[in-house]
Amino acid sequence: MAREKINKGFAEMFKNGVIMDVTTPEQARIAQEAGACAVMALERVPADIRKDGQVARMSDPAMIQAIMDAVSVPVMAKVRIGHFMEARILEAIGVDFVDESEVLTPADESRHVEKHQFKVPFVCGARNLGEALRRINEGAAMIRTKGEAGTGNIVEAVRHMRAINEEIDALKGFDEHQLIQLAGQMRVPVALVKETRDLGRLSVVNFAAGGVATPADAALMMALGSDGVFVGSGVFKSQNPPKMAHAIVQAVIHYQDPARLVEISKNLGTAMIGLEKEALDIKMAERGV
Amino acid sequence: MTVVGLLGLQGAFLDHIPHLKRCAVSYRIVRDSMALNAIDRLIIPGGESTVMAKFLEEFDMLAPLCRRIREGLPVWGVCAGSILLAEQVDGNAGSLSALPISVTRNAYGRQIASSVHFIDIPVMKQERYPAVFIRAPRIDRVGEGVTVHASRGNDPVFIQKEKIMATTFHPELNQDDCFHDYFLKV
């Protein structure tokens, strides 16, 4: 119980901040210098994982530790969906947060990691309220949209954030019987559905992720109710990573101020090259429901 | 009516709003130096101190905030906020340098070492208050005029000097309002 409070509370500290994917200590320092509130250590950014088309696994612990040594901000790292042993390894390294991520190749097609068994907090992706509540029920201390990682296309993240918001809004009109029925369909306790209805939002921090490539994308997701933003390939696949990183952080702070967003968005060089969703061979968002 | 500013550059500033509402005071999110002029008190929230320090400077808020604190603006720094207020951080000069204390960041370890400790706070008549420490800084030295209100073992965790107070833990994550009540009377 105390652990749950400490871990959900830790996620609160990321709010209104940007968490950036980094693959080297040097990139981690650039991200921290640009104003990232945490970094995600991984060997390849999603755009490259997508291009390679190979099985993607947890990163080398030595590489993760080198990044932990390089920066003072919290460090996250990814495990494959359901791969509780990779999660045990990351916990033993001492990473601050584990991302059970659809960006890596799933290890278990029917189960996620039983996250209550761990001391380290977890963040998980979700496309809709059912996925979000199942992950929270398994012990996730933080949720993010899945979006479609490595595409530089914001459309899926918008869809997922809107879906979660609309489904939570709809709960207001539900009677007791409907709530019980919905909880059954979602395979979660009724109490969790009721808590969500009463709060009018998820009971944990909810970030946007998957497709954020510009300051405007980040500001859009904040305006849609995201508590903060993950940027994967969007920083280090852009023409000028330090500048783009800094601009995205500023856009999250000043998302309600269009005049500032104009200045923030100027002269950033080329953003990452985006992919239309029809052109994708792999839909990462469909992994781990 | 009192307007409490919430430094809104990054971190858990919105978490203070339910407390302030229950205390029946209004609040304002502070993201630029203009907003600094429109507040009577300021809470510097938990979050990443590096991010907040960076943007205080970039958005030209550092000098105006230092001036307002010198002129007597009551300020409460929570966790990262206490780091921003400190004179010395990890052996280097601090950001606002408003409290004569030295702190070490993440001194108790990474997230798996974060913990709840029960502390006594005589000034609030609280016994065994559940203080949530998250990658907390440690106050290694307190200078002249600083009152230590509560400690975790030998480490001061709730301190005050005149109208400036700092907690290295997170009262905003608890349901009660005793710290907000206290701050509004500082």
Give the pLDDT of residue A26.
Answer: 98
Of A13, A32, A120, the CB nearest to B46: A13
ipTM of the complex as predicted: 0.97
Q: Which residues of B touch A17 (CB under 8 A)?
A: 10-11, 47-48, 51
Q: At what angle are helices B49-58 and A241-253 packed, to 10 degrees?
A: 90
Catalytic member of A5, A8, A15, A78:
A78
Interchain contact B140–A (C-beta under 8 A)? no
Q: CB distance from B116 to chain A under 8 Å?
A: yes
Domain range enclosing B105: 3-185
CATH of the domain at B98: 3.40.50.880
Q: Is A78 a catalytic residue?
A: yes
B47 inside 8 A of chain A by CB? yes
Convert the pLDDT of each residue in A232-241 to its tens digit.
Answer: 999 999 999 9
pLDDT digits (tens, 9 = 90+) for B101-119: 999 999 999 999 999 999 9
Nearest to A72 among B50, B116, B170 (CB): B50
Put simply, whether A10 touches B (Cβ < 8 Å) is yes
Q: pLDDT tens digits, residue range B127-139?
A: 999 999 999 999 9
pLDDT per residue as tens digits for the range A250-278: 999 999 999 999 999 999 999 998 888 88
Model's pTM, two decimal places? 0.97
Whether chain A has a CB inside 8 Å of the CB on B179: the answer is no
Yes or no, beta carbons of B31 and A36 under 8 Å apart: no
Set of chain A residues whose Cβ sits within 8 Å of the Cβ of B173: 5, 9, 12
CA B180 to chain CA centroid, nearest Å: 11
Closest CA–CA distance from residue A94 to any residue of chain B (Å):
7
* Count of structural domains, chain B: 1
Q: Band the pLDDT of A53: cuts 50, 70, 90.
A: confident
Whether the Cβ atoms of residue A227 and residue A245 lie closer than 8 Å to each other:
no
Q: Which residue of A has its CA nearest to B105?
A: A72
Q: Identify which of A274, A283, A147, A269 has the alpha carbon closest to the alpha carbon of residue A206.
A: A147
